[in-house]
């Protein structure tokens, strides 16, 4: 019974003088946690831009008879890569994160190419209603491009910090 009473108080040897023997969390683990949090916000921003691009594509589909296959392909690649990025972020899978960077970059580049090919003709500038839609589409794609640049930097940093440290030989 005496021994149990002694356990309630502070055990001997824990007066704070043993701080130098305690384990310290490696800084790369905190960097990984911060990068995962930042990447979650960037993935959300990419989903929003992908939805705005999809809305723009569906509006253009309602005006035209033939769908633009490259823009639909860009949307599919964009959404698949965002799902892969979210899975890679949650489960710390570097292969998913690498696919996410490649796929989302390809999707935004295809969106930029579609915008340049389809809307930067002389006819688009003559119609004022089309000009307003063109301005919105350009703004959305540029926003997606800026978000993609930040996502690439964050993901590369995350993959680098997730890797085990190299041992000196």
87-135 confidence digits (pLDDT tens)? 999 998 999 999 999 999 999 999 888 888 776 554 555 555 566 777 8
Position 96 in a domain: yes
By residue range, what is the domain housing residue 146? 28-162
DSSP for 1-19, please give it.
Answer: -HHHHHHHSPPTT-SSTTG
21-75 pLDDT per residue, tens = 666 667 788 888 999 999 999 999 999 999 998 888 787 777 765 667 888 899 9
Position 119 in a domain: yes
Position 76 in a domain: yes
Position 12 in a domain: no
Position 168 in a domain: no
For the question of whether the overall pTM of this predicted structure is more than 0.85, the answer is no
Helix pair angle (128-162, 69-91), 10° resolution: 30
């Amino acid at each position: 019974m005496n021994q149990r009473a002694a356990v309630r108080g502070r055990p001997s040897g824990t007066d704070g003088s043993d701080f130098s023997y305690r384990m310290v969390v490696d800084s790369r683990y905190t960097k990984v946690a911060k990068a995962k949090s930042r990447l979650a916000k960037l993935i959300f921003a990419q989903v929003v831009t992908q939805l705005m691009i999809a809305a723009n594509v569906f509006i253009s589909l309602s005006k035209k008879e033939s769908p633009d296959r490259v823009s639909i392909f860009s949307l599919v690649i964009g959404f698949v890569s965002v799902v892969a990025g979210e899975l890679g972020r949650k489960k710390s899978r570097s292969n998913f994160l690498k696919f996410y960077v490649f796929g989302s970059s390809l999707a935004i580049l295809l969106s930029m190419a579609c915008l340049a090919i389809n809307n930067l003709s002389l006819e688009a500038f003559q119609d004022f209603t089309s000009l307003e839609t063109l301005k919105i589409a350009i703004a959305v794609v540029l926003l997606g491009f800026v978000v993609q640049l930040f996502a690439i930097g964050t993901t590369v940093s995350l993959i680098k910090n997730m890797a085990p440290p190299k041992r000196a030989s």
